[in-house]
Amino acid sequence: MMFLELTILSGDGLPSGIGIYLTIPDGGQNELIAIVQGDTYLSLDVSYFNYLG
């Protein structure tokens, strides 16, 4: 099963903001799938995220 993770980004040549990562199980490399710029608070538990599956 894969999960989403939020991390505050700065540096690494990427824009500053909140990174949304796809967390790969069993020690796999996590994959950055989006950067949300201009926001300092973001939660996966609120209604603006809709889980499909």
The pLDDT tens digits of the residues spanning 23-43 come to 888 877 888 888 888 877 888
Q: Count Cβ atoms below 10 Å from residue 23 Cβ, excluding itself.
A: 13
pLDDT at position 19 is: 84
- For 14, the 3-state DSSP assignment is coil
Task: Point out which residues pair with 22 in neighbouring strands.
Answer: 4, 31
| Pairwise CA distance, residues 36 & 34, whole Å | 7
Compute CA distances 48 → 30, 45, 51, whole Å. 23, 9, 10
| Pairwise CA distance, residues 40 & 43, whole Å | 10
Tell which wins on pLDDT, 52 or 22: 22
The pLDDT tens digits of the residues spanning 3-23 come to 777 777 766 788 888 888 888
Tell which wins on pLDDT, 2 or 15: 15
